[in-house]
Structure 1
Amino acid sequence: MRSIRYIVRASVIAGIYAALTYFLKPISYGPLQVRVSEALTLLPLIESSAVPGLFVGCFLANLLGGLGPWDVYGGSLITLVAAYLTSKMPNPFLGAIPPIILNALGVSYYLSLLYDMPYALTASYIALGELIAVGFLGIPMLLFIKRTGLRRYFDKAR
């Protein structure tokens, strides 16, 4: 029964990530982006199924995004590593570091090639977008979940 709950939770997180990314497509893709769904990248701090959920959600979102294999595989693997590292962090402020840094360094690499833009500029844009999504949206979201009765719905927040 526990594994079914785990899969369902991961699936819900994947679906929310993919839908939110695609619904906000104009600001979710490209070298200048604020992928609002990245606020969910702090969920591994309170929900273990968020690690595979974020990976699958990012994979689906990038598959729909149209930037090709670099984004589908590269971006999804970066999200997987960032989610795992976030799950090991002691608080949301440190937990925000892996998705911000890894996306700024990794995603920017292939986006700078795909869009023929300077790497440093692309990395700055992606870092800023991640800071907005993870720092200004994700941290308050996670703190809200932890301070309210919502925390009982997450496996690590008890």
Structure 2
Amino acid sequence: MWRKVSRAALVAAFYVAVTGVLAPISFGPVQLRLSEGLVLLPVLWPETIPGLWAGCMLANFLFGGLGPVDIFGGSAVTGLAAYLTWRLRRSVWLAGLPPVVLNGLIVGAYLSVLLDVPYLPTALSVGAGELAAVYGVGVPLVLALRPVLRTWPAR
């Protein structure tokens, strides 16, 4: 059990650290949040779902500046997307779709309201950034980790 709790906490901490280091490109109507590539980790470890949710909430609280809607809404979207990636875990390529679609539609919607910018360009921009993070970082990460996990002894 402690191994799973530790894994979730590590993912949360890594999410916060990457988001914080890359804060200038991680927030706003045009964003590339590379830490969102971690949202595919539930394909390998379902216990990372709460870690991703907590990491996103903490990152939005520490670095976001858009208040409760982003802190709670953004982390809810990331948590739901992480859960859906776990549900679609048989295909890493399909598992990447929920984060892209949900972030584009939902985060794009509340960012357009909070920042008073048009919805469609914002949704497309957030979706494109998510697409780059998920398929440029997340998929390669999961594909690289899968063979390594097969060779680890079970404990």
Shorter chain as normaliser: what TM range?
Answer: over 0.9
TM-score by length of 1: 0.91
Distance 1:152 1:126, change over 3 A: farther
Partner of 1:9: 7
CA RMSD of superposed structures (Å): 1.4
Match of 2:40 in 1: 42
Aligned to 2:31, what secondary structure does the other structure show? coil
CA distance in 1, matches of 2:71, 2:19: 13
What's the counterpart of residue 93 of structure 2? Answer: 93
What CA distance in whole angstroms lies between the structure 2 residues aligned with 1:152 and 1:99?
A: 29
CA separation in 1, counterparts of 2:150 and 2:114? 40
Q: Distance in 2 between matches of 1:21 and 1:134?
A: 14
Match of 2:21 in 1: 23
**Shift of the alpha carbon at 1:28?**
0.5
**Structure 1 residues 23 and 152 mapped into 2: Cα distance closer, same or farther (>3 Å)?**
farther
**For residues 91-139 of structure 1, what are the alpha-carbon distances to aligned partners after superposition, in whole Å with 9 as ceiling and x for unaligned?**
1101101100000011011100111111111000001100100011111
- Cα 1:70/1:9, change in 2 over 3 Å: same
SS of the residue 2:39 aligns to? helix
The gaps in structure 2 that reach 5 residues or longer are none
Query: What is the aligned length?
Result: 151
CA distance in 1, matches of 2:137, 2:4: 25
The runs of at least 4 aligned residues of structure 1 exceeding 6 Å deviation read none
Q: How does 1:79-158 map to 2 (within 5 A)?
A: 79-89=78-88, 90-147=90-147, 149-150=148-149
